[in-house]
Each structure stands twice: as structure tokens, then as C-alpha cells.
Structure 1
Amino acid sequence: MTTRPVRSGVTARVLDVLGAFSAQDPVLGLSDISRRTGLPLTTVHRIAGELAAGGALDRGDDGRYRIGLRLWEIAHLAPASHGLREAAMPFLEDLHEVTRHNVQLAVLDPDDAGEVVYVERLSSRDAVSIVTRTGSRLPSTATGVGLVLLAHADPAAVEAVLARPIRRFTPFTVCRADGVRALLAQARTGGFVVSDRQIEEVSMSVAAPVRSGDGPVVAGLSIVVPAATNPHTLVPAVRAAARGISRALAAS
């Protein structure tokens, strides 16, 4: 994992410590956090102790830390999570109930258009396995939700993302900037996009944009299905759910 640059200020150090945790590494020791943040071990020890005392981190019996319940509670007050999830849940549940597939809702990271953050996920035991969970992140260039969000994002931000190396997950991941641009054009023209086996070879996703009423795109909705599925049979349901969430956001 790339070491984060050390920034000045107590708040910046606290955010660096919290940012060391990820879906892949949800439990970390002090030395792990120090290595990932570039902060001195003594500084990490002090900050982690204060965060644990406040409930933002939990310290296990083995001395390692994980994100605490207090931080989770605060995070769910964010407008991108709370208001959006409230408006979207009835439509997500309906789509999940009808299809019995994985249903996901995500937003673009406001600080880095190269990543999406999943604010909700509904799944079932017989659905195809997926790597995402609520609060996790994935590259916007390889995910259905990310592609529909990038398709309607600021062009300068999109070009900044495409100027960086694109991470490959499977042999089907589109890693050329021109290939991603073609998918973004399809998303804008058709109102949906299919991300075919880009994250895992066993699955594909069909995604549509969610708008704030008739305003800008604020989220992406996707359904993840086995790779052998004909994705176009799911497009009407996904687009209808996305439009329903958009209307609910306008009403609220």
C-alpha cells in the first residue's frame, strides 16, 4: 500500500490514522498504521489511544485497532449517506426483491473522482459473490456505478482520472483511457452502462445514474449479476429504480 504523505496539523494526523484502515485491512496494529501514514509510532500510539477513548476506534485484546461504532454513527449522518439512503431504500429493496440479485448504491468521492464509495448494498445468499460492502471503495473506471458517475462528472476531473494508470482487476478490465471514454459515452447516450467482468470474472453490473430530481447526477445505482446473464434484460428495472430514487430526492 502506498504511504500517505504526512500533513501538518492535529486534525490532518487524525484523518491520516483513520484513513489507514480499509475494507481489505480493517484491523491494524500501531506499527501498521505508522507505516501506512508515515507518522512516528509515538504519535500513532497517542492518537489511536485518544480515538479509542472516544469510541472512534476499538482496541482488541491483541492490541490491534478497528473502526469504532461511534465513527460509524457519525458517518451515517453525512448527507451523501443519510438523506440519499433514506430516499433510495424503498427502490433498492423493490429491485432486490424482484431480481434476487445484488443491488448497490454509490457516490463519487468528492476529493478524488477516481473512486466511488458504496453507501448501501443489498444481497442474498444465492446471489453471485461481490467484493463490496457499505463504506467500501472501488475505482470508478472499472465499476458500473463509477462509470455512470464519471459520465456526468466534471470533464476536467474525468481527464485527471484517466491520466493516471488504471488498475487491472481481471483480464477484462478496461485499462486504456480511450476504452473508458467509450464506456462513458455509452452511459451518457443510453442512460445506463454495463461493466462486464471488470472487477471479478464471475460477475457483471448494470448501472444507471440517480439525479437530484431534474438536477445533477448525485449517485449511481447498479445490480450485480452472474457473468452469463444477459444484462439488457435488467436495464428497464435498473433505470426505473434510478428514476424512482431521483423523484424521491426531488420530493424531499
Structure 2
Amino acid sequence: MAPGKSVTSKVLALLDAFTPGTPELTLSELARRSGVSLPTAHRRAQELLEWGALERSANGSFHIGLRLWEVASLAPRGLALREAAMPFLEDLYEVSRENVQLAVREGLELVFVERIAGRHAVPVLTRVGGRFALHATGVGLVLLAHAPSDVQESVLAAPLQSYTPKTVTNPMRLREILAAVRRNGYAVSDGQVTLDALSVAAPIKGPTGVVAAVSLVVRAETAQPTALAPLVMAAARGISRALTVP
């Protein structure tokens, strides 16, 4: 980290050092990954411990504290959306017994804000609070299709990661898919994240336009997208109404 950075920037860098792959860090690892000096990391980590943003494990390493989760849960796009969506997500799960996911766009990525995992459903790579690329998942395709044009162009101009041999990374082909999503009212991602999974997603609309997307993720070998689409679209319409009705 460059000299002269504010205390706030250093604190945020410490928190940003934690990732799904590194949820627990020693003090030296925390300092190295955040780019701050060891003494500074020690002082700031102690303050975060006292406030509850960090907690210590039995072995002395640090992990994110429950207090930070409590504050994050108050984010309007997460809390209000989840409260409005949950009855419809639960209904969608009850009729399908498959994975149900709810996501919003954050910049050039998506963030999963809720999910219901089917006990015997296909395994998925998603987690609540996790980020993912927009071009591969069903919810991502929906959010990208309805994103502002500058967002779409930024995503299409950047290198598109290939997760499986079926991941669409050709910008021209992706433009065609996004147009079909807008035309049909739903998206299908078949084997683009993992070969054994297929997702069907639909847009959730708020007063200002599309604000989120909901999806079902099922086993690709048994999936019938045209049969699943009406279920997902009905859930999306229900959540949309809940968001727009005072």
C-alpha cells in the first residue's frame, strides 16, 4: 500500500484481505495481504477485534466477526430484497426441490444475496455474499442483459473466463444470447459454470427497472428449460410486485 493512505483505507484493506479461499489469516498474513506494515496491522486488527468486525480462532488467527455480518445485513439492496423475495423463493423451492438463487449486480459482477439449497439437488459453486462473473450464470445473463449499455460493453470488452467447454466467451455470440434473454423474458445457462448444472433465470423489476434476478439450478441431464421457465418467471413477477406495491 502506498504511503499516505488514510486509516480508513488501511482498515478496509485489512478486511479485504479475507476471501472465500482464505477465511482465516494470521497477523503476518493479514499484514502481507493487505499491504500494511506489521505494527499497523496489529493496531488496526486490535481495534477491529474490540468492535467485533474481527474475531480470533483458538489458534490465534483472525477471521471476520459476526458484528460485520450484522451491519452488512442492513444493506437496503440485500435486506429489503430478501424480505420481499423469501416467500416466493420458498414457494419455488417447494414446487421444484431444486436450488433457488437470488442475485443482484454490483459493478461488473453479480452478488448472491440469498439461496435455498436442495438436499438432493446438483451441487453449486455459489454462496450468499459470493461474487461471480455476469456472463456465465443464468442470473448473470439476466442482469447483464438488462444492465446499462456501458456495463454491457465493459463486460464484453474484457477477457471472458471459461469455466467449462460450454462457457460462451465469444462477445458476438454473447450479444445474441443477451438479446434473446430480453426477448424471451428469461435466460438459460446450460453447463456454462459446471457441466452437470443448468440454470433458468428471470428478471425482478423494481420502480427503476430490473434490480435483481432469480433462478433455479437443476441437473443438466434431466432439465427441461421450457417447463422450468414459467415457474421462475412467476416467482420473479411475484417478487417484482412485492417490491413495487407500497
Runs of 4+ in 1 over 6 A off after TM superposition: 4-7
Check if 1:227 corresponds to 2:220.
yes
Measure how far apart 1:6 and its partner are: 8.5
The equivalences for 1:28-39 within 5 A come to 28-39=25-36
Number of positions where the alignment pairs a residue of Structure 1 with one of Structure 2: 245
Q: What 5-or-longer segments of structure 2 have no aligned partner?
A: none
Check if 1:139 corresponds to 2:136.
no
| Worse overlay, 242-251 or 18-27 | 18-27
Indicate the residue corresponding to 2:81 in structure 1. 84
User: Distance between the aligned counterparts of 1:247 and 1:106, measured in 2?
Assistant: 17
Q: RMSD of aligned C-alpha atoms?
A: 1.8
The equivalences for 1:130-169 within 5 A come to 130-169=124-163
Measure how far apart 1:231 and its partner are: 1.7
Amino acid of the structure 2 residue aligned with 1:226: R
Indicate the residue corresponding to 1:69 in structure 2. 66
| Worse overlay, 4-13 or 41-50 | 4-13
CA distance change for structure 1 residues 6 and 239 in 2, over 3 Å: closer, same or farther? farther
The equivalences for 1:153-192 within 5 A come to 153-192=147-186
User: Distance between the aligned counterparts of 2:68 and 2:85, measured in 1?
Assistant: 23
Give yes or no for contact 1:172–1:198 (8 Å, CA) kept in 2.
yes
Amino acid of the structure 1 residue aligned with 2:199: S
The equivalences for 1:91-130 within 5 A come to 91-109=88-106, 112-113=107-108, 115-130=109-124
User: Distance between the aligned counterparts of 1:179 and 1:39, measured in 2?
Assistant: 44
Indicate the residue corresponding to 1:56 in structure 2. 53
Measure how far apart 1:116 and its partner are: 0.7
CA distance change for structure 1 residues 24 and 6 in 2, over 3 Å: closer, same or farther? farther
- Higher Cα Rg: structure 1 or 2? 2
SS in 2 for 1:46: helix
Give yes or no for contact 1:6–1:38 (8 Å, CA) kept in 2.
no
Give yes or no for contact 2:191–2:220 (8 Å, CA) kept in 1.
yes
User: Distance between the aligned counterparts of 2:40 and 2:157, measured in 1?
Assistant: 35
SS in 2 for 1:13: helix
SS in 1 for 2:76: coil
Give yes or no for contact 2:27–2:41 (8 Å, CA) kept in 1.
yes
Amino acid of the structure 2 residue aligned with 1:135: G
Amino acid of the structure 2 residue aligned with 1:100: R
Indicate the residue corresponding to 1:238 in structure 2. 232
Indicate the residue corresponding to 1:216 in structure 2. 209
CA distance change for structure 1 residues 128 and 58 in 2, over 3 Å: closer, same or farther? same
Deviations 1:112-148 (A, max 9, x none): 22x1111100012111111111111111111111111
User: Distance between the aligned counterparts of 1:251 and 1:33, measured in 2?
Assistant: 46
CA distance change for structure 1 residues 65 and 152 in 2, over 3 Å: closer, same or farther? same
Amino acid of the structure 2 residue aligned with 1:224: V
Amino acid of the structure 1 residue aligned with 2:182: R
Superposition TM-score, scaled by structure 1 size? 0.91
User: Distance between the aligned counterparts of 2:146 and 2:231, measured in 1?
Assistant: 21
Measure how far apart 1:170 and its partner are: 1.4
Give yes or no for contact 2:93–2:116 (8 Å, CA) kept in 1.
yes
Quote the sequence identity (%).
51
Give yes or no for contact 1:7–1:13 (8 Å, CA) kept in 2.
no
Give yes or no for contact 1:210–1:220 (8 Å, CA) kept in 2.
yes
Deviations 1:207-240 (A, max 9, x none): 1010015x41000101100011122210000000
User: Distance between the aligned counterparts of 1:175 and 1:48, measured in 2?
Assistant: 41
1:23 to 20, 27, 39: 20
Deviations 1:1-31 (A, max 9, x none): xxx8898322222222212222232222233
Measure how far apart 1:42 and its partner are: 2.7
